[in-house]
Amino acid sequence: MFKKSIGILLFFILSISTFGMVTHAANSSEYVNQSFYGYKEPSFNSAKTNGGSEYGAQNVGVVEKRDNGWWKIETWEGPVWINLNGEERVMGDFYAYDEPSFSSKVANAGTKYGRQTFRIVDGTTDGWLKFKTWEGEKWMNPTAEQITVNKTIYAYNEPSFNATKANYGAPFNPQNWGVVEKKENGWMKVGTYEGYKWINP
């Protein structure tokens, strides 16, 4: 009887101590003293929340924090991901642009960036990433291949020489192109000032 009582007492004590060690996603409130974007997933290429507009400085209910700077917070739209300080990535061998478009001005004096650590601070759903440079914030598209075409070339609305020509029917001068899609028959989808068009150099 005595052993049974001690056994029950030990079980009770162990149950209480084990119950105290169970962890839950702790909600905390933190003040964010800057404007920030919200994302549907913990990625700068995820769709933005809040209609694509920044949230103002405010107290946020933090549901989860990750080591790479992403926080999951509660908003009027439900759970949203934010990253206040950006995310460091080692990348290289790419051109940077003033805007998220291959037709915008090329940064870094027109030369590619070598391999180094960059701080990513924003992005778009079509692969563009905004990052910090010695010139300020610039854009890159690591999913696109960069090619140089050293001759004038026509671009088309569709991957066919019978399709309507882009650029008001005029050829493009020799330049670098950001290729986002390739077909086996030589057609390449590239970024232009009119949006994505097709070339076949």
pLDDT in tens, 55-104: 999 999 999 999 999 999 999 899 999 999 999 999 888 889 999 987 78
The count of residues in the chain is: 201
DSSP annotation of 132: E
What is the tens place of the pLDDT at every residue in 134-164? 999 999 988 777 788 999 999 999 999 999 9
**All CATH 2.30.30 domain ranges in the chain, comma separated:** 25-83, 145-199
- CATH among 3.40.630, 2.30.30, 2.60.40, 1.10.3210 for 25-83: 2.30.30
d(C-alpha 103, C-alpha 96), whole Å: 11
21: three-class secondary structure by DSSP: helix
For position 31, what pLDDT does the model report? Answer: 95
Cut 0.75: pTM above it: no
147 within 8 A of 188, measured Cβ to Cβ: yes
CATH-assigned architecture of domain 145-199? Roll (2.30)
Which pLDDT score, from 0 to 100, does residue 183 have? 86
